[in-house]
Amino acid sequence: MIPAPFEYVRPSSVAEAVSAIGAAGEDGKILAGGQSLIPVLRLRLAYPTTLVDLGRVAEMQGVRDDGDAIVIGAMTTHHDVMHDPLVAEHAPLIAQATGTIADPQVRHRGTFGGALSHADPAGDLGAVALALGCEFVASGPGGERRIAASEFFHDYLTTALAPDEVLTQVRVPKLGAGWSSHYEKFNRVAQAWSIVGVAALVRRDNGSIAEARIGLTNMGSTPVRAAAVESALAGADVGSVAAAAEHAADGTNPPSDLSGQADYRQHLARVLTKRAVLAAVGS
């Protein structure tokens, strides 16, 4: 199918983008890589009157070092994130999870910021951003603000971004020594979206686990932290990972759909959390 007609604007800076989305009003929409938005337009599930294409905003592309954090431009493609040396050094969890998204063609166009702004609960990057404690930088008519990952995801396809705000970059804190990570995901072969995914970050100290951070994909209408597993793992030895992972579904309210019922997802969360933590600690 063909999308309904719309006006097309192509700003070349963040300032121009903010004024264009403001001028477009309620029915304006930001176009990043288009890998979620264009399918929605094609199926006529949305009728924006104006699309503001961020594709030529050079200042929103690429990854840079900013001391205690790396900064990923919202318009950096999945493909470029996967192959970026700063991401590989400071946030290999992001590179690994990004490599599981969709397929090469979609990763050539889809963007880091677009995937996070879209906030599909089956999307892989939200749980990763939550576990890493990322900060989201948004620009709007009132200027710039930073939003903690824990405050960013509000509901299914809904974030803290106001309609006239642009997510410009994501700050990823550098983790320092002792941390290791793993992203474990379960999906159908012909459809890369996670049925459930688990992002695990673990800091080891003298052979035991000093600290763990676990983010869950598709275990509710937003990505969530598995807080009960995190506290069970703090100070634990590797032998108690399986018992800690039994808490992975505590307090979750996962969806039931064609890929699985809620209780099946809760089972998957426990199994995948065990696998993710063990892989992160290298056992």
Ligand X SMILES: Cc1cc2nc3c(=O)[nH]c(=O)nc-3n(C[C@H](O)[C@H](O)[C@H](O)COP(=O)(O)OP(=O)(O)OC[C@H]3O[C@@H](n4cnc5c(N)ncnc54)[C@H](O)[C@@H]3O)c2cc1C
Site residues for ligand X per CB under 6 A:
29-37, 39, 54, 74, 101-102, 106, 110-111, 113-115, 117-118, 123-125, 161, 166-167, 192-193
CB closer to ligand X out of 111 and 222: 111
Residues 195, 268 contacting (CB under 8 angstroms): yes
CB under 5 to 8 A by kind: which of ligand X, another protein, none does 111 bind?
A: ligand X
* Shortest CB 9 distance to ligand X, Å: 13
CB closer to ligand X out of 184 and 247: 184
CB closer to ligand X out of 171 and 203: 171
The whole-angstrom separation of Cα 57 and Cα 53 is 9
Got the DSSP string for the chain?
A: --PPP-EEE--SSHHHHHHHHHHHGGGEEEESS-TTHHHHHHTTS---SEEEEGGG-GGGSSEEEETTEEEEETT-BHHHHHT-HHHHHH-HHHHHHHHTSS-HHHHHH-BHHHHHHHT-TT-SHHHHHHHHT-EEEEEETTEEEEEEHHHHEEETTEES--TT-EEEEEEEE---TTEEEEEEEEEETTEEEEEEEEEEEEEEETTEEEEEEEEEESSSSS-EE-HHHHHHHTT-BGGGHHHHHTTTTTT-----BTTB-HHHHHHHHHHHHHHHHHHHHT-
CB under 5 to 8 A by kind: which of another protein, ligand X, none does 53 bind?
A: another protein
* Shortest CB 206 distance to ligand X, Å: 36
* Shortest CB 120 distance to ligand X, Å: 6
Binding footprint of another protein on the chain (CB under 8 A): 1-8, 10, 31, 34-35, 38-39, 41-43, 51, 53, 55, 79, 102-106, 108-109, 189-192
Nearest to 247 by CA among 261, 234, 260: 234
* Shortest CB 105 distance to ligand X, Å: 8
The whole-angstrom separation of Cα 114 and Cα 119 is 9
CB closer to another protein out of 75 and 212: 75
CB under 5 to 8 A by kind: which of ligand X, another protein, none does 95 bind?
A: none
Nearest to 14 by CA among 51, 53, 60, 55: 60
CB under 5 to 8 A by kind: which of another protein, ligand X, none does 101 bind?
A: ligand X
CB under 5 to 8 A by kind: which of another protein, ligand X, none does 163 bind?
A: none
CB closer to another protein out of 8 and 148: 8
* Shortest CB 276 distance to ligand X, Å: 16
CB under 5 to 8 A by kind: which of ligand X, another protein, none does 104 bind?
A: another protein
CB closer to another protein out of 117 and 273: 117
CB under 5 to 8 A by kind: which of ligand X, another protein, none does 161 bind?
A: ligand X
CB closer to another protein out of 36 and 117: 36
* Shortest CB 210 distance to ligand X, Å: 30
The whole-angstrom separation of Cα 201 and Cα 76 is 23
